[in-house]
Structure 1
Amino acid sequence: MRLRDWLKPGLQLKRWILLGTIGVFFLSFALGRLLFLINIEIKGHLILISAIFGFFLILISFKLGMDSLFKNIRFIGSIAGPLDKNKINKQIYDKKILSKGPKVVTVGGGTGLSVLLRGLKLFTSNITAIVTVADDGGGSGKLREDLGMLPPGDIRNCILALAEMEPTMEKLLQYRFEEGNLKGQSFGNLLIASMNGISYSFEEAIKKINEVLAVTGNVYPVTLEDITLYGKLENGMVVRGESNIPKKSIEENSKIERVFIKPKEAEALQEAKIAIETADIVVLGPGSLYTSILPNLLVKDICKAITKTKAKVVYIPNIMTQPGETDGYTLLQHVDTILNHCPSITIDYIIANNGKISVDVGHKYKLEGARLVDITEEERKALKDYKIELIEDNLVEIKSDYVRHDAIKLSKLITGLYK
């Protein structure tokens, strides 16, 4: 380490090493004098005091040094598995390097957001995921209806994406029951439901889950209120329920005109607002435009917080269009939809894919009514008029014939904006 790096503030361990060195000096001095004078009649009070003082300085320096080094290391026993050398090294790296990364706030939900979070945690530990609670389908919908709690599905996926745990534990939390009354329900959802049952609020339950699973950063529901998403189709039909909107759009062969929530004045979680206002980078997406991203922006004060923040605001559109939501949408239509629902915000950057997919994968998506979101020269010029900087890269990653964002490459581009 160079001298200027050693003198740079922030590496708390140095002061405790210095303290320990002084302690060793006093102890060595005392021991040396004792050895030198061992056969001489002396008054040993000063030597004894020096030895005791030095010994206690070493103990204090060791304790404070270890406290500084391992302050944020959370030992979670059987959940995370035993800590080996690699895990300890990772914890030290997380504390000393990743903790100095940019404060990134992500807003969204669904698979796209959880994929991004797995990449982001490799570049910074200052992550806050603000997650939609408008979901009313699948296992989350059942728990919402049966227990009167907020839907845990999207939150569960984000927590698992940011958690430090053994692969077996992650598989357990993602496991879905295949028979009986619990058919279709995931174990992770039940864990959140159980924690909610022994907590004062859903917010407290999620905080406890974050601690138990050693989550990097924070995962917050966008609101604690029981909101319902509605969609108005271009044919005038109003559809109730997040899971029903894309279905009805396909059935009616009518695109979504706009979405809204009830209650309209649902309050945003205070921690979510503060996180946005104090962030370095705010990321919208990736995820379903109408059912994952916009439900967050419709919650009271979220748009206002994004408008007020000094952070760079980044939008990441999906790589593929989504049947029932963004059929045939261009990149510019994605942007216009966000600005129409939240006109006060300013988008500084768009990170979009310009990579291609194989013919086989493209054919599979075509059968489902989806295609790549292409970028045209006209759109590039239009975005300049919007004063939005477009960042393009090949972000395609294929897993099990499904198109996903390359999380590491995408995260590198996001955190690079801060540098």
Structure 2
Amino acid sequence: MTEVAQASQVLMPLKKVTALGGGHGLGRLMATLSFLKNRLVGVVATTDNGGATGLLRQSHQCIAWGDIRNCLSQLATQPLAAELLNYRFKENSPLQGHNFGNLLLHALDEVSPRPLDGIQLLSRLMRVNSRVLPMSETPTDLLAETSDNIRCFGELRVDAMTTMPAHLSLSPQVSATPEVIEHIYASELIVLGPGSLLTSVMPPLLVHDIQQAVAQSSAAIIFIDNLVAEQSPAGRISCEQRIQWVEKHLGGSKINAVISNHICSPLEIPVFKAKADTHIPHRHCESSLLVAVAEAVKHIRA
């Protein structure tokens, strides 16, 4: 039996896995674990205010669709479907700067009772078996405050900060999508990351009822660090400091295992390594990430 097959066998008995994050990182993790099908749930950050997503949010006061679209495109089994979702209109188009997948999700939201209904319809049309859920169905933004009380509003400004914020919150504070809480309570494993710490991993944990659900859940928690230091304040602190930052927002819960290629000492938490994609060095190789997650789960169970 191959190493990948053995890893799949270790994770197959899990009844429910919830992954929290955003952007390319959550999509890559979900694609890696997609064999779990409807037992895998992705909780996606909805605070992005840049690029095509930012354009839609400015004009329609909606949740951020970009990270949701990114996850769906990476879970799509048909390459053309993924390409269609990620299609960006050219400069000579009246829709210049917009992304087709974002517009499609927004249109589905406009004709649906709630944002989740549109996401589920698109998931069915694309035959995506795993569930993709927005952290909240209400628009909100990141708000960071420095130690000298300077406020940075929105993901773009938070990413541009030169040092880690003293405080990070949502403005306004919002409630979680109800299904998110349901799945967290039912989960045996919660995975945080990979992705930008402040703008992908942290936003779902800033929703109070998500933080409370994680704290009250009996699930094991794995944190996946980025392969390459990100271009943000979080990329300039140590692995240990990133873990401490996350744990401050887990409502008293602790991370049980870490996947990181960085030096993470002194740590009492077991650390496992995963290789990079040979074509995209800052993204995890799916097979190597799968093996690392399985190794972490085995260690936690032992």
Q: How many residues align?
A: 287
The answer to which structure has the higher helix fraction is 1
1:313 Cα deviation after fit:
0.8
1:185 corresponds in structure 2 to 98
The 1-side partners of 2:163 and 2:278 are apart by 30
Instruction: Indicate the residue corresponding to 1:168 in structure 2.
Output: 80
Question: In the TM superposition, what whole-angstrom CA distance separates every residue of 1:199-233 from its partner, at most 9, and x where no partner exists?
Answer: 11112111111211111221000111211111123
Calculate the TM-score normalised by the size of structure 2.
0.88
| Unmatched runs of 5 consecutive residues or more in structure 1 | 1-97, 354-373
SS in 2 for 1:314: strand
Q: Cα distance, 1:101 vs. partner? A: 5.0
Alpha-carbon distance in structure 2 between the residues aligned to 1:348 and 1:287: 19
State how far apart, in whole Å, the 2-side matches of 1:342 and 1:238 are: 23
TM-score (norm 1): 0.64
Q: Which residue of 2 aligns with 1:383?
A: 267
Kindly indicate whether residue 64 of structure 2 is the aligned counterpart of residue 151 of structure 1: yes
- Partner SS, residue 117 of structure 2: helix
Report the Cα offset of residue 345 of structure 1: 2.0
Question: Residue in 1 aligned with 2:124?
Answer: 211
Q: Could you tell me whether the CA contact under 8 Å between 1:229 and 1:242 is conserved in 2?
A: yes
1:399 partner amino acid:
H
User: What amino acid is aligned across from residue 285 of structure 2 in structure 1?
Assistant: D
CA distance in 2, matches of 1:316, 1:398: 19
- The structure with the larger Rg is 1
Mapping 1:273-288, distance limit 5 Å: 273-288=181-196
Q: Distance in 2 between matches of 1:258 and 1:406?
A: 33
| Counterparts of residues 3-402 of structure 1 (less than 5 Å) | 101-122=14-35, 125-164=38-77, 166-179=78-91, 180-247=93-160, 249=161, 253-264=162-173, 266-353=174-261, 374-375=262-263, 379=265, 382-384=266-268, 388=269, 390-400=270-280, 402=281
SS at match of 1:139: helix
Aligned to 1:30: none
What is the CA distance between 1:268 and its match in structure 2? Answer: 0.9
State the AA in 2 paired with 1:182. L
Do the aligned partners of 2:20 and 2:43 also contact (CA within 8 Å) in 1? Answer: yes
Cα distance in 2 for partners of 1:102, 1:331 equals 30
- Match of residue 411 from structure 1: 290
Percent identity over paired residues? 28
Distance 2:176 2:138 in 1: 8
Instruction: Measure the CA separation in 2 of the matches of 1:194 and 1:399.
Output: 34
Residues 20-50 of structure 1: CA deviation (Å, up to 9, x unaligned)? xxxxxxxxxxxxxxxxxxxxxxxxxxxxxxx
1:129 aligned counterpart, secondary structure = strand
CA 1:211–1:328 in structure 2 vs 1: closer, same or farther (change >3 Å)? same
Q: Deviations over 1:317-366 (max 9, x none)?
A: 1122222231421110111111233442221111222xxxxxxxxxxxxx
Q: Can you list the C-alpha shifts for 1:251-302, whole angstroms capped at 9, x where unaligned? A: xx444333111223x1111110111111111001111101111111010211
The structure showing larger relative contact order (alpha-carbon pairs under 8 Å, at least 6 residues apart) is 2
Please report how far the alpha carbon of residue 128 of structure 1 lies from its aligned counterpart in structure 2 after TM superposition: 0.1
Q: Which secondary structure state, in structure 2, belongs to the residue aligned with residue 261 of structure 1?
A: strand
Moved over 3 A (4+): 98-102, 122-125
Shift of 1:162: 2.1
Q: State how far apart, in whole Å, the 1-side matches of 2:279 and 2:103 are.
A: 27
Question: Which residue type is aligned with residue 395 of structure 1?
Answer: K
Residue of structure 1 equivalent to 2:5 = none
| Pairwise CA distance, 1:156 | 0.6
SS of 1:161's equivalent in the other structure is helix
Please say if residues 231 and 240 of structure 1, whose CA atoms lie closer than 8 Å, have aligned partners that are also in contact: yes
- 3-state secondary structure, aligned to 2:233: coil
Structure-2 separation of matches of 1:216 and 1:408 = 20
Alpha-carbon distance change, 99 to 214 in structure 1, aligned in 2, over 3 angstroms: farther
Per the alignment, in what secondary structure is the counterpart of residue 30 of structure 2?
Answer: helix
SS of aligned partner of 2:241 = helix
RMSD, aligned CA = 2.0
Shift of 1:312: 1.0
- Find the aligned partners of 1:99 and 1:317 in 2 and give their Cα distance: 23
